[in-house]
């Protein structure tokens, strides 16, 4: 049974889906740079948070629930970022048979994806770099 999410979370998800639709028009290098910039200084998302964001994005967008892996993965990053954290973003491929795919990861593990995605060759990535604590001198 689908979990009911508060109106604000659904509104944030719709915004993330819409922004992702625009961002995926960028070149892969610029998209990865944009996501890296967007996620600078935030905490790493938990697998639970990223998984819930993925579920909400898929529930609200038939494109993201289907073959729209690029938009889905970018929307998940944006939605998590709106909530204060972010997963790592990846785009890559497998050769036999050739398959291109985009996904999010937490602690090096794909979220909501088949385990075989872990073996894909990553060609573009965005990594969350949490803000470093300032040292007192």
The model's pLDDT over 114-126, given as tens digits with 9 standing for 90+, comes to 989 999 999 999 8
Of 124, 23, 35, 122, nearest in space to 87 by CA: 35
Give Cβ neighbours of residue 75 (< 8 Å, ≥ 6 apart): 13, 16, 17, 19, 20, 57, 61, 64
How much is the pLDDT for 7? 86
Structure tokens at 51: 């998984």
Span 30-55, average pLDDT: 95
Q: Please provide residue 39's backbone torsions phi and psi, each rounded to the nearest 5 degrees.
A: -100, 10
Confirm whether 29 is domain-assigned.
yes
Confirm whether 137 is domain-assigned.
no
Element (H, E) at 106: strand 99-106
How much is the pLDDT for 6? 85
Confirm whether 131 is domain-assigned.
no
How much is the pLDDT for 127? 80
- Using CA atoms, how far residue 103 sits from 2, 4, 8, 17, 133, in Å, is 22, 24, 24, 15, 29
Confirm whether 135 is domain-assigned.
no
Expressed as residue numbers, the domain containing 47 is: 7-126
Confirm whether 111 is domain-assigned.
yes
13-29 pLDDT, tens digit per residue, is 999 999 999 999 999 99
Torsion of CA 110, 111, 114, 115, to 10 degrees: 40
**Beta-bridge partner residues of 110:** 105
Confirm whether 67 is domain-assigned.
yes
Q: Flag whether pLDDT at 51 surpasses 70.
A: yes
Report how many domains make up the chain.
1
Give Cβ neighbours of residue 107 (< 8 Å, ≥ 6 apart): 44, 47
pTM: 0.89
> What value, to the nearest 5°, has the Cα angle with vertex 45 and ends 113 and 11?
85
Confirm whether 76 is domain-assigned.
yes
Confirm whether 136 is domain-assigned.
no
Span 81-110, average pLDDT: 95
């Amino acid at each position: 049974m689908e979990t009911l999410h508060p109106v604000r979370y659904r509104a944030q998800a719709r915004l993330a889906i819409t922004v992702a639709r625009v961002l995926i028009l960028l070149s892969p290098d610029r998209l990865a740079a944009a996501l890296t910039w967007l996620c600078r200084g935030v905490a790493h998302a938990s697998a639970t948070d990223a998984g819930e964001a993925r579920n909400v994005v898929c529930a609200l967008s038939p494109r993201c629930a289907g073959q729209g892996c690029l938009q889905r993965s970018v929307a998940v990053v944006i939605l998590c970022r709106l909530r204060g954290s972010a997963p790592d973003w990846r785009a890559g491929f497998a050769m036999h048979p050739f398959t291109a795919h985009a996904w999010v990861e937490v602690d090096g593990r794909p979220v909501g994806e088949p385990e075989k995605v872990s073996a894909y060759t990553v060609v573009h990535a965005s990594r969350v770099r949490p803000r470093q604590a300032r040292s007192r001198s």
